[in-house]
Structure 1
Amino acid sequence: MTTTSSTSSPSTTALVTGGTGGIGSAVARQLAAEGHDVVLAYRSNTETAATLVAEIEALGVRGAAHRVDLSDSAQLEELVSHVTSTFGDLSILVHAAGPHVPMVHLSRVEPRTYAEHLNAEATAFFTVVRACLPALREASGAVVAVTTAATDRYPVRDGLSAGTKGAVEALVRGFAAEEGRFGVRFNAVGPGMLVDGMAERLISSQSLDQRALDVTMSRIPLQKFGTAVDIAEAVSFLAGPKSGFITGQKLNVDGGYTV
């Protein structure tokens, strides 16, 4: 499914993977509100993608949505080619895609399950970046990966998240060190506990009961949970010109959980 608008294009285009998720959609709206054309890459939620493209276009920029398998390098290269030929550039890549991560002790995770999550997190990010690098180099662009605050303060039963997104953060630092000579910046944003997105799904599925939520809240100095909009604001900063001398870093947006 591909949807595009004929609205005139601003100077920069952003590609958001996981664009129909709670955080991805908030990022897409934020970037569109700031004047960027926004292309969504999504896995299966076609209806949500179409609705979000309409919201993006209503803000006066161009929007598009593409259903893509992030493990398929050929599909990704075709997507990047389409984006650059249609929109003129690819200046921002936001990787907000990732599988649902259940809360489970590491001792109960099968090796095959861990490998599947590692592929869905780190291998997917690597594959997306590889496909986008030529265009990002041309634009001296910016990459922001949405990871987790759990890599800095480990919550029990969150090993499938911390133990795989940690690999993404290592890649962020590696790419930052290697791609700076082309003017491409790489950074990460680490969400803490949110009231929407994956946290909402964990609460709804009772993977996080009230006792667990109370314990988590007790460890947050600001004494509140965040929102996807909080994450989008941080992503927008790291993707924009005001962070032009920042690369290879991670910004935790967690209410102080990792203090």
Structure 2
Amino acid sequence: MWTHFEPVHTVTYFHPRARAAFEAVGLRGFWRGYFAGRAAPLGAVEAAPVVAAFFSFAPPVVARAVPAVWQLVTPAEALRARLTGAVQALAELAYELPERHLAEAAELLEEAAGAARPEGRVLGAANAALPAAEYPLARLWQAATTLREHRGDGHIAALVAAGLDPVETLAWRVAEGMPELNLLGRGWSPQEWEAAAGRLAERGWLTGDGKPTEHGRAEFRAVEDATDVAALHPWQALGAERTDRLRELLEPLARAGHTVIPPENPIRLPPLPA
């Protein structure tokens, strides 16, 4: 299900209409919009909670944006810009889908999001607590966002439980084949990257020349499995039949989303099978 609802949310980062909506309220530059929009459900927070909740960014990168963005916009303004840009992006991508298709998808996705457990899920819970949206595309995007942040919170918990810190996690992704360019914006220094790779080698996850070992792959599969288990409750609550129906409804939206999401993306969102 993640591969079907994540593209609905992810247009926020890659569609030009989403970027334009942030710029229209004074958030120029990708990272201002990113940090303000994603952190806004938490309120006008300082950098420390954002460092913790976003996990993969070096603290100085977060501190350059937060709390300075709150001098440009209020959290409420950032949330309005975020939703406006997302809806405009989805409207462009979903223009061929009938209203009843979008309304049914929104209803089912909202029900799944409403069943997401908030315990220990800071970003998921903060997004779930936002006022309900009015129109199908806004409802659909908001539910997808709640579910993806809920799942992301669980993924971070699994990474921490496995003893991985943020830069080790990114170094592992690069070793697995993700282009390093996708992760440079996280702000870690070359020395920090090198030290993280060294720690992974000491744990037996990487070979001396930085290649993943079978032990490392098995350990990281356990992290992904724990993430999936922690994200399962909304789909159990929805039930197999309606989850299958929702997957069917989301598929054309997910495929349309991939027209603006780069094939090599830092979210590691794979394309849907042909």
TM > 0.5 fold call: no
Larger radius of gyration: 2
Structure in which a larger fraction of residues adopt strand: 1
Which is bigger in relative contact order (C-alpha 8 A, separation at least 6)? 2
Give the TM-score, by structure 2 length.
0.30
- Scaled by the length of structure 1, the TM-score of the pair is 0.31
